Amino acid sequence: MFTIIKNKIQGATLAFSPLTPSSQGFNQKKSVWPPGSLTLVPLLKIPAPVLKRYFQNLIRCNLLKFRMSPLVNPQWEDVLSMIRVFGQNMYCVINKSIYPPEIVGEFMLENFSGKSAQAHFSANPKYSNPRKYSTAITWASSQVLNEWKVKGKDEPYLKTLIGFIPVSNRPAIFTLMRAKWKKQVVVPQAILHLGKVEDAVLLTCTREDL
């Protein structure tokens, strides 16, 4: 089992609330998810066997390489290394409308600067339908940007999420844009993807976008 440790994001009140009609920045009427079906859980609070099953499913479907794109053929051991370094800033979107609850997707935040952070996403192949998963990303983005507050203040902890995606990963770019993220610029030769340096698309998401 993984050791559950205190969340690394300091000075913030992190609200891991379920999907509700009052969620700011999220139009539930247009959601493909039933009310109350989604919730956000720190990855380190997910049982290790559940996490292993999720990531090994990505490996079987040849999808983990897009989540850990600098590596050509990432394996479970690489996931464990990633969790050891970044696990405190990793989260799972959970579908709790079924039993047992399932991981819809996972995301990680890093490169915190001011009121911004870079986000990395992966999706359970079962929920990889563009409409369904993009709606889950919109919901998760809304949780981070609208619900997470500076501790003791009614002030957003983060105001901007940043995505940096290889230009060749068009499905990921399409999914984020469908999730209301905005394409900003193409940065030449800016990212290592599957062992090769590629141009990258810079996308952002703010509360106003949602």
| pLDDT tens per residue across span 164-179 | 999 999 999 999 999 9
- pLDDT of 203 strictly over 60: yes
pLDDT at 151: 87
Domain count, the chain: 1
pTM: 0.84
Confirm whether 61 is domain-assigned.
yes
The verdict on residue 55 lying in a domain is yes
**What are the tokens at 51?**
């996490």
Is residue 210 one of the residues assigned to a domain? Answer: no
Residue 206 lies in a domain: no
When pLDDT is cut at 50, 70 and 90, the band that residue 143 belongs to is very high
Q: What pLDDT, on the 0 to 100 scale, is given for residue 30?
A: 52
pLDDT level of residue 209 (50, 70, 90 thresholds) = very high
Whether 80 is in a domain gets the answer: yes
| Token duo for residue 33 | 């998810």
Mean pLDDT of the chain: 86
Q: Kindly state whether residue 153 falls inside one of the protein's structural domains.
A: yes
Instruction: Supply the CATH number for residue 140's domain.
Output: 3.40.630
DSSP line for 86-133:
HGGGEEEEEETTSSS-EEEEEEEEEEEETTEEEEEEEE-GGG--HHHH
Average pLDDT score over residue span 2-16: 39
Q: Do the domain assignments include residue 23? A: yes
pLDDT computed for residue 130 by the predictor: 78
Parent domain of 145: 12-158
Q: Which helix (H) or strand (E) holds 77?
A: helix 76-86
Q: How many CA atoms lie within 13 A of 25 on its CB side?
A: 22
Q: Compute the average pLDDT of residues 140-166.
A: 94
For residue range 153-162, what is the model confidence (pLDDT) as tens digits?
889 999 999 9
Whether 177 is in a domain gets the answer: no
Could you report the per-residue pLDDT of 29-83, keeping only the tens digit for each?
455 787 789 999 999 999 999 999 999 999 999 999 999 988 999 999 999 999 9
pLDDT(122) > 60: yes
Of 170, 67, 65, 159, whose CA–CA distance to 115 is shortest? 159
Spatial separation of the C-alpha atoms in residues 46 and 3, rounded to whole Å: 10
Q: What is the average per-residue pLDDT within 18-23?
A: 34
Band the pLDDT of 17: cuts 50, 70, 90: very low
